[in-house]
Amino acid sequence: MIETLLFLAEAHSEVEGGFGLNLNIFETNLINLILLVGILIYFGKPLLTKILSERRSKIAEQIKAVEQKQKQAEVTLAQEQKKLESAKETAAKIRSEAKTNAQKARETILAQGEKEVERLKEAAGKDLSSEQERAIAQLRERVVALALESAKSRAGDALRNESEAQSKLIDSSIAKLGG
């Protein structure tokens, strides 16, 4: 395109007679570069402006979205921290109630244990008393049995002795009468 413009410029200069063929590559490149920059600025400025404004609006939207997400994250963090504090308080209450319940259960178990010990002592005492009474009853029965045996044997001895004494008495009475 640039070469075409140069060719047209040279052809136009030949027609008017003021321009000639410029073979200096540096000067022609500089002119071409200036023309190119001018064309780019003229035609590219609206396009570049449009692209940059679109990019700027996208960046602004992204910044707003990030700010919104950050606010939501802060709100969510605050809510979660409240929930955490609430959970900590609940856990502390549960621990406290568990300690209280454990203490009550301990006291109840100890009281029941003491009652059971007392009941066992009473039962052992009753068993001991009943065993003593049974042993005493057995001893009494034995003493009575021994006393009866002793009384029988004495009574038997006494009766024998008495029957012998009666026989002697009868014999002596008969002897006195007959004699």
- Least confident interval from 11-25, 29-43, 66-80, 115-129: 11-25
Beta-carbon contacts of residue 9 (< 8 Å; ≥ 6 apart):
19
Q: How far apart are CA 27 and CA 22, in angstroms?
A: 8
Q: How far apart are CA 144 and CA 152, in angstroms?
A: 12
Mean pLDDT of the chain: 82
For residue 75, the model assigns a pLDDT of 94
- What the block records as the tokens of 126 is 């009753």
- Please give the model's pTM, rounded to 2 decimal places: 0.39
For residue 15, the model assigns a pLDDT of 45
- Amino acid identity at 57: S
Q: How far is residue 84 from each of residues 27, 76, 77, measured CA to CA in Å?
A: 76, 12, 10
Backbone torsions φ then ψ of 48, nearest 5 degrees? -65, -40
- Amino acid identity at 99: K
Check pLDDT > 50 for residue 126: yes
Mapped to the 3 state alphabet, what secondary structure does 54-109 carry? HHHHHHHHHHHHHHHHHHHHHHHHHHHHHHHHHHHHHHHHHHHHHHHHHHHHHHHH
Question: For 6-20, what is each residue's pLDDT tens digit?
Answer: 555 554 454 444 555
- Amino acid identity at 164: E
Strand, coil or helix: 23: coil
